[in-house]
A = this chain, B = another copy of it.
Amino acid sequence: MQNVKTYILLFMFIAIGNWAHSQSHPKLILTQKGVKEIRAQIDQLPLMQSSLDKARAFVDQEMAKGIDVPVPKDMAGGYTHNRHKKNYMLMQKAGVLFQITQEEKYALFVRDMLLEYAKMYPTLDVHPVKRSYAPGKIFWQNLNDANWLVYTSQAYDCVYDFLSAKERKTLEKDLFRPFADHLSVDSPQFYNRVHNHSTWGNAAVGMIGFVMNDQELIDRAFYGLKSDNIKEDQKDNDGGLIKMQGDGKAGFFAQLDHLFSPDGYYTEGPYYQRYAMYPFVMFAEAIENCRPDVKIFEYRDSLLVKAVQTLLNLTDVNGLFFPINDAQKGMSYLSRELVSSVNIVYHFGGEDPGLLSVAEKQGEVMLDDTGLSVAKAIKEGKQRAYQKKSANYGDGASGEEGALGILRAGKADAELCLVMKNSSQGMGHGHFDKLSFSLYDNKGEVLQDYGAARFVNIEQKFGGGYLKENKSWAKQTVAHNTLVVDRISHFKGSTDTGNKYHSEPYLFDAGNEQIQIVSAKERNAYPGTEMHRTLALISDDKFEKPLVLDVFKVKSDEEKQLELPYHFFGQIISTNCEYQVAEPLTKMGDAYGYQHLRLEAEGLTDEGSAKLSWFVNDRFYSITSAVNSEDKLLLVRSGAEDPNFNLRRDPAFIVQKNQQKEAVFVTLIESHGKYDRVTEFADNAFSSISQVELLLNSDDYTAVSFEDKKNNKWMLILANRDAGKKSKHQLRINKTDYEWTGAYHYVPAQ
Residue-wise interface mask of A (634-646) relative to B, using a CB-CB cutoff of 8 A (1 in contact, 0 not)? 0101011111111
A649 close to B (CB within 8 Å): yes
Contact A332 B678 (CB under 8 A): yes
Q: Which of B330, B645, B649 contacts A649 (CB 8 A)?
A: B649
A729 close to B (CB within 8 Å): no
Cβ distance A359 to chain B, nearest Cβ, rounded Å: 15
Cβ distance A319 to chain B, nearest Cβ, rounded Å: 10
Q: How large is the interface on A (under 10, 10 to 19, 20 to 34, 35 or more residues)?
A: 35 or more
The quantity of this chain's copies bound in the complex is: 2
Give A569-603 interface residues, CB cut-off 8 Å to B: 571-574, 581, 583-587, 598, 600-601
Known A-B contacts A573-B460, A685-B458, A685-B459; A643 and B581 likewise in contact (beta carbons under 8 Å): yes
Cβ distance A612 to chain B, nearest Cβ, rounded Å: 10
Contact B581 A456 (CB under 8 A): no
Contact A679 B583 (CB under 8 A): no
Contact A680 B456 (CB under 8 A): yes
- What chain B residues lie within 8 Å of A677 (beta carbons)? 328-332
Contact B460 A574 (CB under 8 A): yes
Contact A458 B682 (CB under 8 A): yes
The winner among A615, A618, A640, A678 for most chain B CB atoms within 10 A is: A678
Known A-B contacts A598-B585, A677-B329, A680-B328; A458 and B615 likewise in contact (beta carbons under 8 Å): yes
Cβ distance A39 to chain B, nearest Cβ, rounded Å: 29
A336 close to B (CB within 8 Å): yes
A648 close to B (CB within 8 Å): yes
- What chain B residues lie within 8 Å of A584 (beta carbons)? 584-587
Closest residue of B by beta carbon distance from A586: B584
Cβ distance A272 to chain B, nearest Cβ, rounded Å: 13
Known A-B contacts A586-B584, A641-B583; A331 and B460 likewise in contact (beta carbons under 8 Å): no
Residue-wise interface mask of A (329-347) relative to B, using a CB-CB cutoff of 8 A (1 in contact, 0 not)? 1111011100000000000
A686 close to B (CB within 8 Å): yes
A19 close to B (CB within 8 Å): no
- What chain B residues lie within 8 Å of A543 (beta carbons)? none
Give A317-334 interface residues, CB cut-off 8 Å to B: 328-332, 334
Q: Which of B459, B586, B649 contacts A637 (CB 8 A)?
A: B649
Q: How far is the CA of A649 from the CA of B600 in the complex (A)?
A: 12
A457 close to B (CB within 8 Å): yes
Cβ distance A145 to chain B, nearest Cβ, rounded Å: 19
Q: Which of B455, B600, B615, B644 contacts A615 (CB 8 A)?
A: B455
- What chain B residues lie within 8 Å of A643 (beta carbons)? 581
A261 close to B (CB within 8 Å): no
Cβ distance A444 to chain B, nearest Cβ, rounded Å: 13
Can you give 28 contacting A-B residue pairs, CB < 8 Å?
A331-B680, A332-B677, A332-B678, A335-B678, A335-B679, A336-B679, A457-B681, A457-B682, A458-B682, A459-B685, A459-B686, A460-B573, A460-B613, A460-B685, A460-B686, A461-B573, A571-B645, A571-B648, A572-B644, A583-B587, A584-B584, A584-B586, A585-B585, A585-B586, A585-B598, A601-B645, A635-B645, A649-B649
